[in-house]
Amino acid sequence: MIAELKKHIPQVKFNGMCDDIDNSLYTVLSCSFPETPMAEMLLFNLDIKGIACSGGSACTSGSNKGSHVIQEINPNSKRPSVRFSFSKYNTIEEVDYVVDVLKSLFS
């Protein structure tokens, strides 16, 4: 997913070290996306496409406030962050679908 996001959304950034598979939890990917009009409703747009994800970090799960953890990592960023969590039950097709939806939102 990391390689595909980098290829199709060059402005994507990865929060913390999540794009370093050797030094991060392989089941979680936290990304920040470019500020665009579509980005304001990013979580909503992903939700209506059937994609379950979260804004910010696990520390603020369920909160409508921004993540203090993400704010510490990128203090001056206003980019929307999304956290994707994966399990052994996710399929390659599901990951490809998420990438396709994100491509359509940021193209």
Cα 55 from Cα 77, distance rounded (Å): 14
pLDDT at site 15: 85
Percentage above 70 pLDDT, the chain = 79
Among all chains, which residue has been given the structure tokens 């991060």?
A: 24
Catalytically annotated residues: 59
* Residue 47: domain span: 2-106
Looking at residue 64, what is its pLDDT?
45
pTM above 0.75, yes or no: yes
CB 30 within 8 A of CB 15: yes
Residues of the chain with pLDDT under 70: 56-78
Report how many domains make up the chain. 1
> What CATH number has the domain bearing residue 34?
3.90.1150.10
